[in-house]
Amino acid sequence: MQAGSPRLSGTDMTLAYDRRTIAEGLSVAVPDRSFTVVIGPNACGKSTLLRALSRMLKPAAGAVLLDGEDIHRRPARQVARTLGLLPQSSIAPDGISVAELVARGRYPHQGLLRQWSREDERVVEESMAATGVADLADRAVDELSGGQRQRVWIAMALAQQTPLLLLDEPTTYLDIAHQIEILDLCARLHEEQGRTLVAVLHDLNHAARYATHLIAMRDGRVVAAGEPGQVVTADLVAEVFGLPCRVIEDPESGTPLVVPAARRRAGRLAPEPA
């Protein structure tokens, strides 16, 4: 492996479902130990990109390299020990408990004669502690709130112990408080455990605040990639989303804050003074 080349990258990929081409000649690199966030309008191919990077979708042309090797030539189980994915929708089996679900994350490390080692037990406990669901261990997953459930799924992905973790819209369907809770959790995992995270997010301001590396996509192309402070500009938002806006500094974090242009100024909506 060349020094300096990232662990996960895709080169010159053509991504297609059946005959519908989503992207052509797409190349991306995920910087090691980054919290990379992919943004872009609906149907721009960001989830498809994540599927390709996680071995779910085989590129029609080009390749995804994981540690310098074509990810599709490596056995699924071996890849699953290096790279984890939290898909957009997962089904919790009826009546399964939190601890049992998180324990399923150990699957790629287990075998017929090694079904539940002390290591498995320790990692599951750590994963539940890291995501704050240890107190819920014996509860049934179907009884939990949306935010709790998402933390349980993240705990399962953590139990897989992969240095790279991909998350497909981890905050969708959550209210604002739970969105921030999940993103704070991701940031902590990135900073404290040194994992490389790649997430698809819808909210530009969340992306700008939490990402260390941003990839902006439109129509299956990468329009810009880099640090959020440099990438997120009014011009870029106009180009990628077709949205006129102003970019100001986030008073909390100092990162770029996108404020969409108002159709009418607030003053005009106020009742006329008598």
Partner 1 sequence: MTVLRTPGGLSLRFRPRALLVGVACALLAAGLGVLAVAGGDYPMSPADVLRTLTGGGTPAETFIIHELRLPRLVTALLVGAALGLAGAVFQALVRNPLGSPDLLGFTQGASTGALVVVVLGGSSLALSGAAVASGLATGLLVYALTWRNGVHGYRLVLVGIGVTAILTGVNGYLLTRAPLMDAARAVLWLTGSLDGRGWSEALPLLGVLGVLAPLVLLGCGPALRMLEMGDDTAAALGVPVRGLRLVLLGAAVLLVAFAAAAAGPVSFVALTAPHLARRLTRSPGPNLLPAMCVGATLLVGADLLAQRAFAEQQLPAGAVTGAIGGAYLVWLLAMERRAGRL
Quick one: which of 2, 94, 252, 269 contacts partner 1 (CB under 8 A)? 94
- Residue 177 binding partner 1, by CB under 8 A: no
Closer of 116 and 262 to partner 1 (Cβ) = 116
Q: Alpha-carbon torsion 166, 168, 174, 180, what sign?
A: positive
CB of 105 vs partner 1, minimal distance in Å: 7
Nearest partner of 81 among 196, 163, 170, 204, judged by Cα: 163
- Residue 107 binding partner 1, by CB under 8 A: yes
CA dihedral defined by 135, 141, 143, 145, rounded to 10 degrees?
A: 80
CB of 250 vs partner 1, minimal distance in Å: 33
Residue 221 to residue 217: CA distance in whole angstroms: 5
Quick one: which of 10, 84, 170, 228 contacts partner 1 (CB under 8 A)? 84
Nearest partner of 96 among 131, 146, 143, judged by Cα: 143
CB of 148 vs partner 1, minimal distance in Å: 17
Pairing between β-strand 245-249 and β-strand 256-260 as defined by DSSP bridges: antiparallel
Scan residues 140-169 and list those touching partner 1 (CB under 8 A): 157, 160
Measure CA 143 to chain center. Answer: 25
Closer of 88 and 230 to partner 1 (Cβ) = 88
Quick one: which of 1, 3, 91, 177 contacts partner 1 (CB under 8 A)? 91
CA dihedral defined by 48, 167, 37, 1, rounded to 10 degrees?
A: -80
Scan residues 4-43 and list those touching partner 1 (CB under 8 A): 18
Closer of 5 and 117 to partner 1 (Cβ) = 117
Q: Measured between alpha carbons, how far is residue 201 from residues 127, 129, 160 in Å?
A: 23, 25, 22
Q: Which residues bind partner 1 (CB under 8 A)?
A: 18, 54-56, 75-81, 84-96, 100, 104-105, 107-108, 110, 112-118, 120, 157, 160
